[in-house]
Every structure is written in C-alpha cells, then in structure tokens.
Structure 1
C-alpha cells in the first residue's frame, strides 16, 4: 500500500512540475524559486521525478516551448527544471534540441517556427526513404548506399546510428522475415549446423563466427542473416545502438569500417539459463517491480550484478533477458 501511495505522490509532483515547465521561467538568469529546490537532481525527490519522465515527455515539453516562443528556445528561455532534466538526459543543450527536431540556432535570432516545420518535414521524408530502403532490402542499409541523403542529414544527425534510430529501421527490417517451406535436405543440414553452433555458444552466432562457405550459402538461400536465423527461431545479435560511431559520410581515402565482433555493447537472448542465473534474474525482476523502473547497477547487490554480467555479457544484456532497458543518461547537477 505504501508503494502505491508513493506512486500517487510521484504522479502529483510530476503534474505540478509539468505545469511549472509549461508556464515557463519566472525569473531571469540562473535564479530560481526556493520552493522549486525540491525538484533539483541533487535531491532524492528530484532524482525520482527526473527518472519518471520519458525522453518523449521531455522533448514534447521542449517542442511546446519552441511553439510558444516561435523559435528554438535558448537555455534561459525555458524553466530551469526542464533545462536541467534535458541536459542530464541528452548530455547538452544542442543535443536536446536536435533530439526534439529543433534548430540548434537557439534564441530569438534562430530559425522561425514555420521554417523549422518545413525543415522537419523534409528531414522526415528522408527518414521515410531510409526506412523504405530497409524494408526493400530486408537489412539495415549502409550510409554509402545513400550518399546524397547522408549529405543533407549531416546538418541534424552526427552518426548513422542516430539516423537509423530516428527512421525506425529495426522495425522495418523485420517486415521481410518469413519461414521457408519445403526445404531440401542440404538446406535443412545447413540450418542444423547453424543451430548446433548456436547451442554451443548459448546465443545466436555472429556472421563472422560461421564458416564462410556455410554463411554464404545461408545468405544466398534466405536473403539475409536475420532471415536465416529466423528459420531456427532465433533473432540476431544486435548492437544496442547500431552504427553508433559511423559517420554519415566517410572521409576520402578512408576504408569502409568492418563489422565489429565484440559483444559487450550488444543485446542477444541466451538460449539456456543455468539455475543461478535464473535466480539472479528473478531477483532483478522483483526489484524492478518494487522500484517501478529497471534497476540501476548500484541498486542491485554487487555480487548479483557481477554474476549476471559474467553470464549475460553485460548489465544491459542482463536486463534485456527480462525485457527491461537500462535508463539513459546520468543525473547531473544543473
């Protein structure tokens, strides 16, 4: 019952903060009303409140400020709470503006709202083209396949990974998955070899872990690595943020980067869980239910966290086994 009351109190406080943010800053500069101090990231209440806001909620508040002002807001033109929460979540103000689809030319001298809306529409059309290409190919496209679009998107996005996330490419790629019927004996044999390797690794194999002739045969027959794994009810290992450091345009005379084989920044399902890992994950699930969010590393007993990191490859992938996502951003002082 106490937990329910706490949640209700948190919702009430969130609504109060939401209303304050919508009203906008009442004081100039870095000054703030003393009664607002309780919502600072330096306080336990402020930290809990910050965690309760999703990325979309914070960005929508920022967009609302831009619409009211008629331009991308500068830091001093929004309530200090919103400013602090956005900078904690997105690292700095320009990145928050970019995530909201706003011009980074902030302040009254920035891009007018009407022009900004037109730009956003143009960017969305380009993102739709990328998503459409992913659906057609059945895989994630490489930036070298869309040079003109990449050149234009450089003004808004820093990496190809950010573009893929904005375009929703992961979902688009999954459209082409289908189980093949009436497979020949040699095709069944190939899939059995793939399944045997997966069982030995206790996870879906990476492309580079499969013998070249087998890999090439699977790709020819099933069209993509994702679809080959789908035939044996597996999903591919995927980067938490694919192409996270890949530039939108490669420098001249610089070779195309090869796919990395490390697993520390990946999500993948473990095929089998030993009893200890099952017990540890059950503890984390129970803790998540009590907290109302995915527990952070410091919120879990260190011995449990270390065991799960060894078993699952990383803390993020341990949470992935439970369908939980590690919270983005760190609390920072405003």
Structure 2
C-alpha cells in the first residue's frame, strides 16, 4: 500500500499528540472497550495496511527516543505500562521484548519507580561515551578494531546496555566504513622479496578461487608483510582483495562471560563473506538471473522466489545465501520481512 509521505508524517504527529495527552491524564494502556481505542487500533495496528506503513516508517532510534523521552518525563526507567500503548506495540514488535528495548534505548533494565532514575541514566550514557572514546583511540593505535581482551577495564561500564563486543564496536563507530578508511593504505616501498610474498598470496587466491584465510598462508609470509602493512586486511588490499569476513565479527564474544559459549573471533569460511573469483559460465548466468529478479522485486529475493537450479547452483558456488547477496553488494532482508513475504507466497494472511 502506497501512502504519501506527508500522510505518514501526519499519522506520526497524531500519535505523538495522543501519547502526550495520554501521559498527562495517566491513560496510557490499551482499553479494549474504548470505541476510540478500537478506531485507533484499526489504523495503527501492524497487521493493517496503513499501520504496517506507519510502523515501518519508524527507525529504531525514533522508537528509542520515545522511551528516553518517557524516562525523562517520569524520572525513571519506564515500565511497559508507563509508555503509550501504540508505541508499546511498535517497540515490542521491533525489539522482541521490553528488556531488549530498554537496552537499545541506553536504559537500565531496572524499570519502574524503584528502578534507576533519569540522572543515573544520564551518568551511564556519559560514561558510555567516554568508553567509546577509549575504544576509538585504541583502534587508531592498533589500526584495527580492538579485541575485547584488550579493553577489559571498560567492560563493566558497558554490560548494562550491550551483550556482545560486536554491538559495542558498532555503537562506537568501529564498523565496516571505519575499517575501509582507517585500516587501508598503500605501501609504496615493498622490497623485491616482499613483492614475491604478495604474489604468493595472490597465486594462492587463484588456486582457492577466493581470498585466502589467514591460516591458509604461512606465518613467516604474514609476519614479514605485516611489518609494513600492519594488518591482514591491508596485506590483501595491496593485491586488490578483501578478507573473508563474518557478517558480524565478535557477535559471539559476550561481555558477560557466563553467556560465552566458547566461540572466539576467528576465520570461519562457512557463513563468511568473500568475493568468489572462479564462477563458471553456468554460475555467472545464475548470478545474472538472480540480479534481474532482485531488480524486478526492488529488494533481495527469498529462496522461494528463485528457480531451484539458480538457488542451488549459487549456494554451491558461494557457500551461503548471504554470500550470494554479497557478490552483488546486496544485503538480506530483515527476518520479520522475510517471514512476511514467505507467508504471503504460501497463501497466508
């Protein structure tokens, strides 16, 4: 359903006004018997055509801003009953549960009048920003994202908001864009020996049909080149390649060691993202067909929208569906969107 942007903004402005009125008179919860609430539910519920468009127009940050606004108004972390019911409906759908929503909004999960005050929230936010500065400085020093073990003195101040080291790095701005701008530089003074080592890596990539993993190159080769290149990523950059990467590095590195499942940041080819160098004629045709379907849909297709031979051929060549998309610089759909499309294809309502 297409709705004019002005109309969407009008709905959002109305919602903001309704929430303010409800907060002023203490009537924040959904009243099943209220004719007015029934009318609003028909408009704003996520399952309705209009409501879905309104819901999708809200960014994560906008929903978190509302939580923070309520915290400031009531001077403590809000409980679910202390936010307006339509916002609550959207927030729960977006973040899954209330503790996750509070964490995304930089809140303690200790909600209610007996929980943390807004002053504590502000102090934690200030401390968090100071820690981010430390992480950014460490990253500049290392020319790479610091590992959690290199920032142990910062961990306690982050646990209230983050679960994994990946989330911390993303929030601190140490993301893919940072890697591309801070970790890559051209080395102009390679010796003949070093040039031969680079050629050795390039030859290995041709043999593999993809960028080699660190463990697939001899230690002495890497160590020699790292003296000038500093990082594995920058070594590969010298020969026009990017490393195989997990879609979310450090996503299994938990700040709370009790949640740690023993996984560590390492080279993992399965579910890794990398450019495939040796696609056969048939696979290139499959990729071209995939691209055409994607352009027609104006989004990434799901498995059910692809011919079986295209899906299976590209999965075999690329290793994972996410990596198929990576060949075309595309990103997968959100899980909820994928499920909605799959349900529609199967005839669900």
Is the 1:132–1:172 Cα contact (8 Å) retained in structure 2?
Answer: no
Q: How far apart, CA to CA, are the structure 1 residues paired with 2:58 and 2:279?
A: 33
**CA distance 1:249–1:102, change in 2 (3 Å):** closer
**1:58 Cα deviation from its structure 2 partner:** 3.4
Aligned counterpart in structure 2 of residue 317 of structure 1, from 308, 311, 323:
323
Larger Rg: 2
Corresponding residue of 1:244? 251
**1:66 Cα deviation from its structure 2 partner:** 3.7
Matched, 1:168 2:173: yes
Corresponding residue of 2:107? 102
The higher-RCO structure (CA 8 Å, 6+ apart) is 1
Alignment of 1:124-203 (within 5 A): 124-170=129-175, 171-174=177-180, 175-203=182-210
**CA distance 1:250–1:74, change in 2 (3 Å):** closer
Is the 1:72–1:105 Cα contact (8 Å) retained in structure 2?
Answer: yes
**CA distance 1:45–1:303, change in 2 (3 Å):** farther
How many pairs does the alignment contain?
325
Q: How far apart, CA to CA, are the structure 1 residues paired with 2:45 and 2:272?
A: 33
Q: How far apart, CA to CA, are the structure 2 residues paired with 1:237 and 1:19?
A: 45
Q: Secondary structure at the match of 2:336?
A: coil
Matched, 1:15 2:9: yes
Q: How far apart, CA to CA, are the structure 1 residues paired with 2:47 and 2:106?
A: 29
Q: How far apart, CA to CA, are the structure 2 residues paired with 1:60 and 1:97?
A: 11
**1:93 Cα deviation from its structure 2 partner:** 1.6
1:82-121 deviations in whole A, cap 9, x for unaligned? 3333333322221122112123223344433343222212
Corresponding residue of 2:38? 33
Aligned counterpart in structure 1 of residue 312 of structure 2, from 294, 306, 312:
306
Q: How far apart, CA to CA, are the structure 1 residues paired with 2:289 and 2:9?
A: 32
Structure 1: any 5+ residue segments left out of the alignment?
1-5
Q: How far apart, CA to CA, are the structure 1 residues paired with 2:210 and 2:290?
A: 21
Alignment of 1:34-73 (within 5 A): 34-37=39-42, 39-43=44-48, 46-47=51-52, 50-73=55-78
Q: Secondary structure at the match of 1:146?
A: helix
Q: TM-score, normalised by structure 2?
A: 0.78
* Comparing 273-282 and 142-151, the one that deviates more: 273-282
Aligned counterpart in structure 2 of residue 225 of structure 1, from 198, 221, 232:
232
Q: How far apart, CA to CA, are the structure 2 residues paired with 1:242 and 1:328?
A: 18
Is the 2:107–2:160 Cα contact (8 Å) retained in structure 1?
Answer: no
Q: Secondary structure at the match of 1:215?
A: helix
**CA distance 1:203–1:85, change in 2 (3 Å):** farther
Q: How far apart, CA to CA, are the structure 1 residues paired with 2:275 and 2:171?
A: 24
Corresponding residue of 1:3? none
**1:244 Cα deviation from its structure 2 partner:** 1.0
**1:192 Cα deviation from its structure 2 partner:** 0.7
Is the 1:89–1:329 Cα contact (8 Å) retained in structure 2?
Answer: no
Structure 2: any 5+ residue segments left out of the alignment?
341-349
**1:207 Cα deviation from its structure 2 partner:** 0.8
* Comparing 76-85 and 230-239, the one that deviates more: 76-85
Q: How far apart, CA to CA, are the structure 2 residues paired with 1:167 and 1:312?
A: 31
**1:179 Cα deviation from its structure 2 partner:** 0.9
Is the 1:133–1:141 Cα contact (8 Å) retained in structure 2?
Answer: yes
